[in-house]
Amino acid sequence: MDTALAKAWVAAAADAVSGEAEGLSRLDAAIGDGDHGTNMDRGLTAARTAVDGLEADGPGPVLVKTGMTMISRVGGASGPLYGTLLRTAGKRLEGPEAGVADLAAALRAGLDAVQKMGAAKPGDKTLVDALSPAVEALEKAAGQGTPLSEAAEAAAAAAEQGAQATVPLQARKGRASYLGERSIGHEDPGAASSALLMRALAGVCRA
């Protein structure tokens, strides 16, 4: 991954979330405030503009800028969580290019920071349920010497499966946890948007 690919990822993620904004908000309306899609759309649209003209010497600064923009522009818990994920990952990426192992390590650091912030673990019905298997898939791919395009596809598939797996879970973190058993039967919107981000990455790596 180089600067151009990182910028393409942000743009593709913005397009994906924009296209699914209403659906994400519907998911959120069932177990939250109902504004997740709107908030994520606003944040990623702003991030795309912010990184478009950014002079960066590698993917790291692009992700850092994206994360900072998400923190400043996205309301609720999503801004700090996604912002922390991307900013932390970006800080771990040094140099003009990042390989699969570099990206896996960076996103692992970002995921660890998110889990520390939200005290969430897999099974709590949060974005961690999509991000954790995605990072694990990248780490496995890195260990096998898999090309980035295939590694990103594996990560996207794992994230999508993880998001779907939140449907039967009872929420244990965030606003949805207040619903108790009523949160069962709904896909977590944060996991859904995380899966969209990983699918966007797979798309630009394949192009």
Does position 178 have pLDDT exceeding 70, yes or no?
no
More confident of the two residues 185 and 148? 148
Residue 32 confidence class, pLDDT cut points 50, 70, 90: confident
Does position 65 have pLDDT exceeding 80, yes or no?
yes
What is the distance between the alpha carbons of residues 88 and 11, in angstroms, rounded to a whole number? 19
Tell the residue number behind the tokens 């908000």, with chain if given: 25
Mean pLDDT of the chain: 93
Q: Please compute the mean of the pLDDT values over residues 112-139 and round it to a whole number.
A: 94
Residue 135 confidence class, pLDDT cut points 50, 70, 90: very high
Residue 55 CB contacts under 8 Å (≥ 6 apart), including other chains: none
Does position 75 have pLDDT exceeding 80, yes or no?
no
Burial class (CB in 10 A: 0-12, 13-18, 19+), 76: middle
Does position 1 have pLDDT exceeding 70, yes or no?
yes
pLDDT confidence of residue 73: 87
- The neighbour count for residue 142, using CB atoms within 10 Å, is 18
